[in-house]
A = this chain, B = another copy of it.
Amino acid sequence: MAGNSIGQIFRVTTFGESHGVALGCIVDGVPPGLWLCENDLQIDLNRRRPGMSPYTSSRRESDQIRILSGIFEGKTTGSSIGLLIENKDARPQDYQSIKDLFRPGHADYTYQKKYGIRDYRGGGRASARETAMRVAAGAIAKKYLFEHFSIEIQGYLSQIGTICCEFKEKECIEANPFFCPDPHKVEEIAELICALKERGDSIGAKITIMAKNLPVGLGEPVFDRLDADLAHALMSINAVKGLEVGEGFSFVNKLGSESRDEMTSSGFSTNYSGGILGGISSGQPLLVHLALKPTSSIAIPAKTINQQGETVEMTTSGRHDPCVGIRAVPIAESMLAIVLMDHLLRHRAQCGHF
């Protein structure tokens, strides 16, 4: 449906460019009667927004969300909800010098060839700034899922470069600017990021998202399996290049006899499958890992071509994250929430439970 919408019943449609007037979103299909205010959305928006620490982009956007419709006397009415964030710290002039160049590793080249025109200011629609609206919409889903089903969604940084972060303390995740769950790795990550900033380089990352207290039964055979829809939603996040459910690529050299999640009367014995069986949630914790490539917007020169097709060397200036994987944590949580919300409503439609 023209690309800027996601979801069948809980349906999110977004607009907005990095250095344009505003970002916006329409969330349709929200169940009526949910208490909802702007602050419910702002909390997650603040987790994502830049300029919050020296370790991410220095662009200063307050990302102040406005709810323009669909709420009456504090509750959702069932009508479509309009959301708006005005861009405050746009600097289109920063991009004048690259308007004829295709930044390597970016969407500049593909947008130009696809559309014959492109908003070169900070990548326009291809910028990760677009994801603010995913977070806003996801916060609505998160609230409903938690209040009605006690479903908890949590993401964290599980690897950056060669530093692996195990899930040690849930509290730790929000207590550092990297969403790192292991307090002993925080310092190390800070040093890595600082070193990268100094060198003008960037690095990849792996993040993990989990959902707990899922009911059994979410997901629709055969194409709209829960894992398939999650893959769609999560791979649509900028820079995501890989995805695993449960054991993922570890299954490649595993035997069937050591990979099945056996069951007993007290429940599943293991959770290799990451909470999904046959494309349908099993009630076990949902577990997904994402690989994010390092941003190509770095201070180290690279070869590229200009609009005339000539080879040139360029450096990407602007205010960029040394590791886009970090801020991807709240974005991935939001996409997960949107998919779960949609499937909850889809399941209720056909099967009538809940």
Inter-chain contact B6/A2, CB cutoff 8 Å: no
Q: Which residues of B contact A229 (CB under 8 A)?
A: 232
Contact A77–B115 (Cβ < 8 Å): yes
- Per-residue B-contact encoding for A3-30, CB less than 8 Å = 1, 0 else: 1111011110111110011111010111
Report the bound CA distance from A6 to B225 in whole Å: 11
Contact with B along A51-64 (1 / 0, CB 8 A): 00000000000000
Interface residues of A in 92-150 (CB under 8 A from B): 102, 104-111, 113-119, 123-126, 130
A180 contacts B by Cβ under 8 Å: no
A82 in contact with B16 (CB, 8 Å): yes
Total chain A interface residues with beta-carbon distance under 8 A: 154
Q: How many copies does the complex hold?
A: 4
Contact of A305 among B160, B264, B310 (CB under 8 A): B264
- Name the B residues within 8 Å of A346 (CB-CB): 9, 349
CB of A278 within 8 A of CB of B16, answer no
Residues of B within 8 A of A206 (CB): 249, 252
Whose C-beta in chain B lies nearest to the C-beta of A236? B228
Q: Is A318 an interface residue (CB 8 A)?
A: no
Stretch in contact with the other chain, from A42-50, A168-176, A183-191, A238-246: A238-246
Q: A291-B244, A309-B265, A351-B115 are in contact. Are A221 and B260 (CB under 8 A)?
A: no
Rounded to whole Å, the gap between the CB of A41 and the closest CB of chain B is 15
Q: Which of A220-234 contact B (CB under 8 A)?
A: 220-225, 227-234
A223 neighbours in B (Cβ, 8 Å): 3-6, 232-233, 236
- Could you tell me the distance in whole angstroms from the C-beta of A324 to the nearest C-beta in chain B? 10
Q: A4's closest neighbor in chain B, by CB?
A: B80
For A293, give its contact among B24, B196, B259, B305 (CB under 8 Å).
Answer: B259
Complex: how many Å from CA A316 to CA B277? 17
Q: Are A233 and B228 in contact (CB under 8 A)?
A: yes
A269 is an interface residue with CB less than 8 A from chain B: yes
Q: How far is the CA of A298 from the CA of B260 in the complex (A)?
A: 10
Give chain B residues whose Cβ lies under 8 Å from the Cβ of A8: 1, 8
User: When the two chains form their complex, are residues A13 and B13 in contact, meaning their CB atoms are under 8 A apart?
Assistant: yes
B298 lies within 8 A of A222 (CB) = no
- Chain B hits for A22, CB < 8 A: 68-69, 82
Q: Are B263 and A303 in contact (CB under 8 A)?
A: yes
**Cβ-defined contact, A305 with B263, below 8 A:** yes
Contact assessment for A31 and B282 in the assembled complex, using a CB-CB cutoff below 8 Å:
no
How far apart sit A291 and B231, CA to CA, in the bound complex (Å)? 13
Interchain Cβ contacts under 8 Å between A and B, 26 examples: A1-B5, A3-B80, A5-B11, A5-B13, A5-B223, A13-B28, A15-B82, A22-B69, A24-B24, A77-B115, A77-B124, A78-B114, A104-B263, A105-B260, A105-B277, A106-B277, A106-B278, A113-B217, A126-B222, A204-B252, A204-B254, A206-B252, A231-B235, A254-B293, A265-B311, A352-B354
Other than the given A3-B221, A17-B70, A232-B235, 18 more pairs (CB < 8 A) read A1-B5, A1-B9, A6-B223, A72-B118, A78-B350, A79-B119, A79-B124, A105-B256, A110-B219, A110-B277, A111-B280, A126-B221, A196-B255, A227-B235, A242-B248, A248-B291, A262-B303, A349-B349
